[in-house]
Amino acid sequence: MENPFKFGTIVEEEYFTDRIEEVAYIRHFVESANHLILISPRRFGKSSVVAKALSQSGRKNITVNLQQVTSVADMSAKLLREFFKVHPLERIRHLIAHFRIIPTLSTNPLTGSMDVSFQPGVDASILLEDVMELIEKTHSREDRIIIVLDEFQEILDLDPRLDKKLRAIMQKQEHVNYILLGSQESMMTDIFERKKSPFYHFGEMMRLGKLPREDFHRYLSERLKPQFSDQCNELANRILNYTACHPYYSQQLAANVWNVSVLQPEKEDALEAAINHIVISHSLDYERLWANFKRTNKWILQSLAKNSALQTKEYPTSTIYSALKRMQKDGYVIYSDHYEIEDPFFKEWILRGI
């Protein structure tokens, strides 16, 4: 039997659980003329929940992940490439002819999809304007398209005035709805809630939490059952206690527990063996990470790992607090109702070293 758990990619169909209200809420947006902003720490399930709502709605959509974009020209090329997946070139060729800068198009023989590139050195904001205008023109009020921009906070890094330019372009569009996803809470709130930001109050803001424990427990235990029979309930509980219900790490741990029980049936405690395996296989990365942390950060991470108070005579509270905020921004620490280390296996690695 194949491993019934999946992590690291967008999860769909039988790998996707719960989020019923969230999917319904996003669908409601997708069917209106409004824009949606969705925020959560990374790997909580934003991309998955949006993909689900979009596939249910049947609306035309394109997605570009700004983390995988290297410049404004590259962003324009990727938008156009995705657009070709929705609208075949033959039907929009006449519109491309109006581009001020004509892209080079070629069919990728391996994937069959269209590769798009622009000559280097051209004015990238013209490219972006032309691509966006094409998307707008191809659609209508009755047939809006949805553009999903994942890891949207990256616009601040891509080009210093990109937020202004992009907002000006969007201002003129009436046939496009946007779903903007981000995993850096502070940058995202800065973009959408700072009065002077071009994206101030651009759309409805929604935050995604962890998966509800009861549902996630049912999901895990049903899937563990073929391999663990009557132990599956307890095992699901132990997994969720260990990962604090984090969607990604829970699936990762469950997948490893499954592997241990199939490949090393002699192990008495599959969970312990799985944790050990994950910590050891990541230890090189953890060592590298750790070596680059400042002393204050190391102290904070150790305190969080031990669940001890974040108070010491050694550092002023303000220093601790700003270091904590910084680590939250970088994704090492997350806050739901308290601060915790994002990766439970990194936490384990830290505890083992104390």
Positions touching Mg ion (CB under 5 A) are: 47
Which of 39, 48, 69, 243 forms a contact with ligand ADP (CB under 6 A)?
A: 48
What are the backbone angles phi and psi of residue 49, rounded to the nearest 5°? -70, -35
Query: Of Mg ion, ligand ADP, none, which one does residue 6 interact with (CB within 5 to 8 Å by kind)?
Result: ligand ADP
Q: How far is the CB of 44 from ligand ADP (least distance, A)?
A: 4
Rule CB under 6 A: say whether 282 interacts with ligand ADP: no
Rule CB under 6 A: say whether 256 interacts with ligand ADP: no
Sequential DSSP letters for 303-325: HHHHT--S--SSS-HHHHHHHHH
- Quote the CA–CA distance of 219 and 16 in Å, as a whole number: 9
Rule CB under 6 A: say whether 345 interacts with ligand ADP: no
Q: Quick one: 47 or 328, whose CB is closer to Mg ion?
A: 47
Find tokens 């192990």 and name the residue. 267
Task: Draw the binding track, 150-189, toward ligand ADP (x: CB under 6 A; -: no contact).
Answer: ----------------------------------------
Q: By Cβ distance, which residue is nearest to ligand ADP?
A: 45
Query: Of ligand ADP, Mg ion, none, which one does residue 44 interact with (CB within 5 to 8 Å by kind)?
Result: ligand ADP
Task: Draw the binding track, 213-252, toward ligand ADP (x: CB under 6 A; -: no contact).
Answer: ----------------------------------xx--x-
Q: How far is the CB of 49 from ligand ADP (least distance, A)?
A: 6
Q: Quick one: 152 or 349, whose CB is closer to Mg ion?
A: 152
Whole-number Cα distances in Å, 254 to 19, 216, 226, 261, 350: 19, 11, 13, 11, 22
**What is residue 176's three-state secondary structure?**
strand
- Quote the CA–CA distance of 28 and 298 in Å, as a whole number: 44
**What is residue 250's three-state secondary structure?**
helix
Angle made by CA atoms 165, 169, 172, in degrees to the nearest 5: 150
> Among 35-43, 54-62, 225-233, 267-275, which window interacts with ligand ADP (CB under 6 A)?
35-43
- Quote the CA–CA distance of 20 and 29 in Å, as a whole number: 15
> Among 14-22, 56-64, 190-198, 338-346, which window interacts with ligand ADP (CB under 6 A)?
14-22
Query: Of ligand ADP, Mg ion, none, which one does residue 11 interact with (CB within 5 to 8 Å by kind)?
Result: ligand ADP
Q: Which residues contact 61 (CB under 8 A, 6 or more apart)?
A: 54, 86, 145, 146, 147, 148
Q: Using CB under 6 A, count the residues that bind ligand ADP.
A: 23
- Quote the CA–CA distance of 129 and 127 in Å, as a whole number: 5
Rule CB under 6 A: say whether 44 interacts with ligand ADP: yes
